[in-house]
Amino acid sequence: MSLPRSTPSDQGVDAAGVLAFVDAAERGDLGLHSLMVVRHGHVVAEGWWAPYAASRVHLAYSLSKTVTATAVGFLVQEGRLSLDDPVLDHFPDLDRSAVAEGWQQVRVRHCLSMTVGHEEDAWGHVFDRMSGSDFGDEGDWVPRVFATRPTREPGTVFAYNQVATYLLAVIVRRVAGVGVAEFLRPRLLDPLGLPDIPWHRDPLGRELGFTGSHLTTEGIASIAQLYLDRGRWDGRQLLSEAWVEEATRAFGPLNEDPGAEEDWRRGYGYSFWMQLHGFRGDGAFGQFLIVLPEQDAVVAITAEQERMQSTLDLLWAHVLPALEGNGSQGADEQLAQRLASLEIPALSGEALGPDHAELSRSSASDLASGYTAVSVTRDGNDHVLGLERRGEWLRVPVGRGVWREGQLVGGGATVPVVASGGWVDEDVFRAEVIVIESPHRFGVEARLRSGDADLTWRMVPLTGPDPLWLSTRWS
């Protein structure tokens, strides 16, 4: 079932506060792609910045950790896994001579709580995202993880550590016999009425666990609601209340990173951050699953931005007080109209431009270096953008003043995109390409006089600078 809908005022929410949050987020250029607010189990506000939409999944980055931890929770309540299991016990085939000292004491709960004993994220020792391989580095990454020596006793130091959740995803597969997504289908996804979760995977086809899940906004809100209701959904106890209680309280030492902001220094549970109000799962570039038990509310957000504390600050300033207000029908209607009109403006251009032009990559570009040339071809009122990648042309329809859907297809990958743009004068063509199942977009500016084109990310993905590496569809 999907979450029921209601007006804000019927659930004791002042819609003016939610509207103030939306306005402040746009003024602050926080790059929101979607917002959903749920109160007393009812969706009271929902909006997507077109071309993002309710039906589209969105790369959740580290919010994936919460999904993986939930799979662990189900295994624990079914008696198939213990939080005190030594992690190495789940890898009996591993060459023990290649295992670094310190891993023998690491338990499942240490992986859940980021207290493995590493003092910094060990992922850089396992995988180089800039390696330039379409399929990533070949071979099994697990031995590389165990070759990275914990420098402290498990449980004595917190370090946000991708390898910890990666191991949990592998353990889920080994214990359950299926991957995280398939294991969660009858336990979580079907009862909550959620679609399949596409994932980024390792070379052996296993979900990365710590990142790579793709969720709808309502999927994020529904998982948040499950935790708010202490594991109950539609009258059934799906997830153990004891698990929810333990997972959503701080475990072990606090985050002592001197650069950590306010809502990252209040403790970490089992893939949940404690915060000024309630707790949350989150992911890079502004993906949020926020649970507010005192207000009986949850908030789901997807975005592309780098100032995540700013989003939380605006929530505390505007949405939190709105949850204590009564609202009005007039405010409800004003918010609904605003949320229905959200959009990322499409690019356009009034100049005619040539029928066809080919240009070389400029030195200012930060797309992967394999993209060496650009072509622009008129197609009726619109255009087709060509990107030459390693000798192969990838072609994308570009709407003039509207977003056109297409795909980047190359290197064995298929990536859904939308694009808009046009010739802004007789010399310059500009386009924007949104990798629509992710937070990310890149711009193209092609210049006839200089014969070159800039290919630049708004924010470079954590998967690396090639848009094809954002794919979940590989042949």
Mean pLDDT of the 180-190 span: 98
| pLDDT tens profile 57-85 | 999 999 999 999 999 999 999 999 999 99
* Domain annotation covers residue 297: yes
| pLDDT tens profile 30-59 | 999 999 999 999 999 999 999 999 999 999
* Domain annotation covers residue 351: no
> For 60-216, where are the alpha helices, taking DSSP H only?
64-77, 108-112, 142-146, 162-176, 180-184, 190-192
Q: How many domains does the chain have?
A: 2
* Percent of the chain topping pLDDT 70: 97
Higher pLDDT, 130 or 466: 466
Among residues 285, 316, 340, the one where a domain terminates is 340
CA distances from residue 289 to 65, 192, 277, 404, 446 in whole angstroms, order as listed: 11, 16, 13, 30, 39
Mark whether 370 and 254 lie in a shared domain: no
| pLDDT tens profile 78-131 | 999 999 999 999 999 999 999 999 999 999 999 999 999 999 999 988 876 545
CA dist 325 and 140 (Å) reads: 54
Mark whether 277 and 330 lie in a shared domain: yes
* Domain annotation covers residue 305: yes
**The model's pTM:** 0.96
Among residues 340, 365, 398, the one where a domain terminates is 340
* Domain annotation covers residue 350: no
pLDDT of residue 2: 85
Question: Comparing C-alpha atoms, which of 34, 32, 44, 50 is closest to residue 310?
Answer: 32
Per the prediction, the chain carries an average pLDDT of 95
Mark whether 311 and 385 lie in a shared domain: no
* Domain annotation covers residue 348: no
403: phi then psi, degrees, rounded to nearest 5: -90, 125
* Domain annotation covers residue 382: yes
Mark whether 72 and 194 lie in a shared domain: yes
Domain ranges, residue 297: 9-340
Among residues 291, 312, 340, the one where a domain terminates is 340
Q: Are 144 and 44 in contact (CB under 8 A)?
A: no
